[in-house]
Each structure stands twice: as C-alpha cells, then as structure tokens.
Amino acid sequence: MSEPSAPPQQQATPVCPRHPDRVSYVRCQRCRRPVCPECQRPAAVGVQCVDCVREQARTVRSATTVFGGRVTDTPRVSYAIIGICVLVYVLQTITPGLTRDIWFVPVLGESEPWRFLTSAFAHGSVTHILFNMLALWMVGAQYLERLLGAARYAAVYLVSAVGGSVAYLLMSSPPSNDFASRSMWLTPAVGASGAVFGLFGALLVLNRHLGRSSAGMYATIGINAVIGFVVPNVAWQAHLGGLVTGAALAAVIAWTTPRERRRWQWPGVAAVVVVLVLLSVAKYAVSPSFVLVG
C-alpha cells in the first residue's frame, strides 16, 4: 500500500535585494542575485547590479597619462582658472581699489607675499584677459591638462604664475631718489601672462621628451617676445620668468616619468617652489629698504 507523497515545496519568489518589494526574474551576471530595472546596469553580457558595478570600480585602477596623472576628458582646472579670472575682472570693474589690493608690486611683495600669485588672476583690460584666456584654452585646456592630468597641470600653472612675479622682482631695484625715479620697484604688474608662458615652456619640454614637434609654439613665443619689447606697459620680465619656471617644472615631471622615479615627482615640484622662495628672500635681503608713502 503506497503512502501519499509530500506536496512539492514552493519556490520563493525572486526579489531585488535593494528593493524587496519588487519581483525580478532577471539576475546579475556577476553575483547571480535578482536585480530590478532600477538597479540594472548594462554589462558586456546581460546586466550587472549596482553593488557589483561599484565593487568592480574599486578594484580597477584608474587610467593614467604617460606622466602619471589621472586621465581626464574634461579640462576642469582650465575651466576653473578661466572662471576665476573672469570673475575677478568683473569685480575689478565694480569694486574700487580691488586691483590695487591684488596686483604685484615689488615694493609690497615682502610684506604682502600673496601678491606673487593673486596678480595672475587680475587683468588690466578686456583685450588683456581675452588674449590670455584664449592662449590658456588653446594650450592648456586642449592639450596640457589632458597630457599631465589635473593636479600636475594646476601645479605647473600656479607655480609658473609665481615664477613670473619672482622674475619681475629680480629684475627690478628700489629707486634711488624716492618717487623721482619711477622704477619697476614701484610699478604694478597684473595678468596671467606669466602663468600662460609657463604653459608654453612646459609644452616645449614635454613635447621634446615625447618626440613631438613644437614648431608653432616657437613662433608664438618669438612673436610675444617681440611684442614685449615693442609694445609699452608689457611686463616681459614676468613672461620670461613664467617660461623658465614652466620649463623647469616640465623637466622635473619628464625626468620622473619612469615608475622607479615617480616618487620624486612632487618633491621635485616642491624644490622648484623652494628655489623661487629663496630667490625672493635673497633679493629683498640685498635690496635697500624703501618705504612706500601714501
């Protein structure tokens, strides 16, 4: 006599772990858990859940440029610099005295060292800022930021800006007869030109390291050099300082490109900053004291 068989066990309805109220018969190709439409992410085959995609992103190394920076398709640093320069210029036009507070004047640099950098975000005219931002966009946003990565590119730009001010300081001297001698020591300088020339110098060095041509950039630098000597009120000293500083930073980055030297890259950049600081301190130390009145 046969005994009645036990009724078949009911199979649990598959639900999404993140949304238990949603039934899903689609499973993640990686963890095989049910995944609702909101949590599905396209995969090479089928779909993956949000949790697996996040876990995979943590384990995959970010792509880097040849110089060790993180690959980026959006030049965020260049956008930020352009935005700051435009904002500062607008504030200059509506805020009396702002330009005087941020421009670089050698006589004030020792007591107000922030001017070495802030002057690079101020401009004297619409033409001035347009030319600088156009050069920044063409050389920086379209090429160097993608080549270096955001952090290294920002370092080259900002340190070159300081380098331009330092060169302006080194090539100036206090006047001998108070205000009778209108020297560079009392003449303010503004503009991102020093930093932009730093990008020019960096491009030359990095292209040479990569075996790429920079023929067009040599012509651009030559034209700007002539303009600096022909057109009045152009601080060619800052251009030269930015160019040399940018080239020095790029040389450091290029030399430390191999993985066994990569750990020296940021210390090398810091060393360039230290040299600029020491040059400025030495210049003020050997210069006669001069008190600005009024």
Strand partners, 41: 48
| 85 and 144 housed in the same domain | yes
Cβ atoms within 10 Å, residue 5: 6
Dihedral-angle region of residue 178 (phi above 0 means left; psi in -120 to 50 means alpha; beta otherwise): left
pLDDT score for 1: 47
Is 229 domain-assigned? yes
- Distance, CA of 251 to CA of 255 (rounded, Å): 6
Q: How confident is the model at residue 151 (pLDDT cuts 50, 70, 90)?
A: very high
| 201 and 147 housed in the same domain | yes
Computed from CA positions of residues 232, 235, 239, 244, in that sequence, does the dihedral angle turn out positive or negative? Answer: positive
Is 8 domain-assigned? no
pLDDT score for 120: 96
* pLDDT of 115 above 80: yes
Helix axes 150-170, 236-255, angle to 10 degrees: 140
Tokens of residue 156, six digits: 């080259």
Q: How confident is the model at residue 229 (pLDDT cuts 50, 70, 90)?
A: low
Split into its structural domains, the chain has a count of 2
| 24 and 108 housed in the same domain | no
- Distance, CA of 246 to CA of 252 (rounded, Å): 10
Which tens digits make up the pLDDT trace of 235-285? 889 999 999 999 999 999 999 988 889 899 999 999 999 999 999 999 999
| 86 and 200 housed in the same domain | yes
Its domain, for residue 48, covers: 15-52
| 28 and 121 housed in the same domain | no
* Amino acid present at 215: A
* pLDDT of 61 above 70: no
239 belongs to the catalytic site:
yes
Our CA angle for 111, 115, 119, nearest 5°, is 160
The domain that holds 276 is classified in CATH as 1.20.1540.10
Query: Based on C-alpha coordinates, what's the Rg of the chain?
Result: 29
Q: How confident is the model at residue 92 (pLDDT cuts 50, 70, 90)?
A: very high
Q: Which of 78, 165, 239, 280 is catalytic?
A: 239
* pLDDT of 136 above 90: yes
128 belongs to the catalytic site:
no
| 117 and 185 housed in the same domain | yes
How would you label 105-125 residue by residue, b for 16+ Cβ within 10 Å and e otherwise? bbbbbbeeeebbbbbbbbbbe
| 185 and 248 housed in the same domain | yes
Q: Which of 193, 209, 213, 287 is catalytic?
A: 193
Is 293 domain-assigned? no
Nearest to 125 by CA among 165, 89, 87: 89
Ranking 36-50, 153-167, 186-200, 272-286 by mean pLDDT, the lowest is: 36-50
> Considering the chain, what percentage of its residues have pLDDT values greater than 70?
88
For 93, 132, 157, the CA distances from 79, given in Å and listed in that order, are: 21, 13, 13
| 147 and 110 housed in the same domain | yes
| 44 and 163 housed in the same domain | no
Average pLDDT, the chain: 87
* Of 205 and 43, the one with more pLDDT: 205
Ranking 50-59, 125-134, 240-249, 275-284 by mean pLDDT, the lowest is: 50-59
